[in-house]
């Protein structure tokens, strides 16, 4: 499984979803997808996940995110070279992480902020409102990290090899 192909698919899906939101919704507009569960609410997020550094001046924030993305890219690139091809889930998760990072990186470089729109209103069995709005790239990063952590925690062979 090629990490590059997964990453490209994630970037294309992320950028297409953001394009549709930007061109067919107004900022702040909410479109109900599943009543009381999921809406698409278009916001611009100048910060990172959960609004981290959103209030920081752009001349600090933008170079910071560029450097972090480059650093993360080098880590993912180096790490993926150590993972054998048969470790499909690890490679898949790295593709998700890298694609998500690149999707948000594209927004930051061209627009100085990230388009967010996925608004989980309530998790029905807890009656809990998730307080953050996010996007496809954020979702892919989260799923990729969850897979990697799960493999490391639950796969004894990954622990002994030192390669999650």
The set of catalytic residues is: 116, 138
CB-based contact 138:10 (threshold 8 Å): no
Cross-strand bridge partners of residue 40: 31, 118
Q: What are phi and psi of 66, to 5 degrees?
A: -65, -50
Rounded CA-CA distance 127/105 in Å is 33
Tokens of residue 71, six digits: 């650093």
> Which distant-in-sequence residues (6+ apart) come within 8 Å of 110 by Cβ?
none
H or E element: which one contains 41? strand 38-45
């Amino acid at each position: 499984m090629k990490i590059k192909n997964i990453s490209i698919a994630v970037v294309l899906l992320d950028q297409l979803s953001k394009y549709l939101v930007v061109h067919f919704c107004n900022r702040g507009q909410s479109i109900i997808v599943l009543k009381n569960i999921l809406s698409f609410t278009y916001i611009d997020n100048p910060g990172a996940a959960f609004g981290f550094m959103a209030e920081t001046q752009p001349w600090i924030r933008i170079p910071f995110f560029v450097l972090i993305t480059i650093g993360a890219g080098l880590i993912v690139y180096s790490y993926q070279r150590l993972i054998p091809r048969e470790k499909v889930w690890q490679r898949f998760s790295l593709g998700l992480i890298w694609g998500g990072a690149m999707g948000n990186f594209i927004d930051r470089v061209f627009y100085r902020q990230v388009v967010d729109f996925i608004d989980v209103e309530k998790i029905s069995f807890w009656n809990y409102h998730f307080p953050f709005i996010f996007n496809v790239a954020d979702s892919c990063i989260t799923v990729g990290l969850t897979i990697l952590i799960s493999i490391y925690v639950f796969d004894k062979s990954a622990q002994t090899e030192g390669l999650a």
